[in-house]
């Protein structure tokens, strides 16, 4: 194993752990690593991240599904909507700089984290919002998740999970499992669109995916055993750290561009 492949395997394992434990694709871990360690351009990092995220979702989703923690109908509706909007997110990313969106999204994440810490959502089972309102809400979540995934190169779980708990009344475990099912659709769609623009470094996908496939299930098993309140608070801290990371990175880029 070369040093480059070893780093890719380790980075994939970290992404898999984040994906399995929090129900996200791991793009927040992957993109800085692909940019810093592997010297990919911003757009290449986004596209390659989405290609890797599919493996993270598959490996972790198996564990959540085995424990009955996936709302499949909601995942199907959200996934279909996200497929359409992910393409537009990719096209927008190809034309614009993501700094302003990153900062706006960082503020949004802080607000969501504060809401989760202020009042823990009740530990329901599956979506409690039914009928036309439930379908409309799921479609809206899907459009937002797909746009975010395509634009920022992440799976969209960091938005989907709190939306499922706060808007649809899911437990944290079910929200995370359903998020992974959505990512399984959203990430490959965004990756294919990025590939059309030449933004997927295919040589890195396999070693990263192998690491993710090993780290994801282990973290997923741990997530099934944690109480609702502990997992929600851990997720809130996770998105706070991600918000800080997004803000700092966008500010660094702004200063580099300013001169």
At 130 the pLDDT is: 63
User: CA of 54: how far to CAs of 50, 125, 171, in Å?
Assistant: 7, 25, 23
At 124 the pLDDT is: 57
Residue 215 · residue 22 · CB < 8 Å: no
Question: 36, 155, 46: which is closest to 97 by C-alpha?
Answer: 46
Q: Which residue has the tokens 């880029």?
A: 253
10-residue mean pLDDT profile of the chain (259 residues): values are: 78 86 80 82 83 83 93 91 82 68 74 79 58 84 84 76 88 91 84 84 88 88 88 86 79 66
Buried b (16+ CB within 10 A) or exposed e, 92-103: ebbeeebbebbb
Residue 56 · residue 218 · CB < 8 Å: no
At 256 the pLDDT is: 66
CA 137 to chain centre: 19
How far is Cα 40 from Cα 202, in angstroms, rounded to an integer?
12
Q: Does the CA dihedral 174-14-6-198 come out positive or negative?
A: positive
Stated pTM of the model: 0.82
């Amino acid at each position: 194993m070369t040093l480059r492949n070893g780093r890719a395997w380790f980075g994939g394992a970290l992404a898999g752990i984040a994906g399995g434990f929090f129900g996200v694709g791991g793009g927040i871990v992957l993109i800085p690593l692909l940019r810093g360690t592997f010297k990919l351009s911003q757009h290449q990092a986004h596209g390659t991240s989405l290609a890797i995220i599919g493996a993270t979702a598959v490996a972790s989703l198996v564990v959540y599904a085995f424990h009955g923690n996936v709302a499949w109908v909601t995942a199907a509706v959200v996934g279909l909507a996200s497929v359409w909007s992910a393409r537009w997110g990719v096209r927008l990313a190809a034309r614009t700089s993501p700094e302003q969106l990153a900062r706006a999204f960082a503020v949004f994440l802080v607000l969501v984290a504060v809401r989760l810490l202020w009042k823990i959502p009740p530990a329901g089972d599956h979506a409690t919002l039914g009928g036309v309102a439930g379908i409309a809400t799921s479609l809206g979540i899907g459009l937002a998740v797909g746009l975010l995934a395509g634009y920022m190169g992440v799976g969209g779980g960091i938005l989907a999970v709190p939306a499922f708990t706060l808007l649809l009344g899911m437990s944290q475990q079910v929200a995370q499992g359903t998020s992974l099912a959505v990512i399984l659709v959203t990430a490959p769609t965004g990756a294919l669109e990025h590939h059309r623009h030449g933004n997927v470094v295919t040589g890195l996908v396999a070693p990263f995916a192998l690491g993710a496939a090993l780290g994801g299930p282990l973290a997923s098993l741990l997530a099934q055993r944690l109480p609702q309140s502990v997992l929600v608070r851990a997720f809130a801290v996770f998105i706070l750290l991600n918000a800080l990371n997004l803000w700092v990175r966008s500010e660094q880029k702004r200063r580099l561009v300013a001169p």
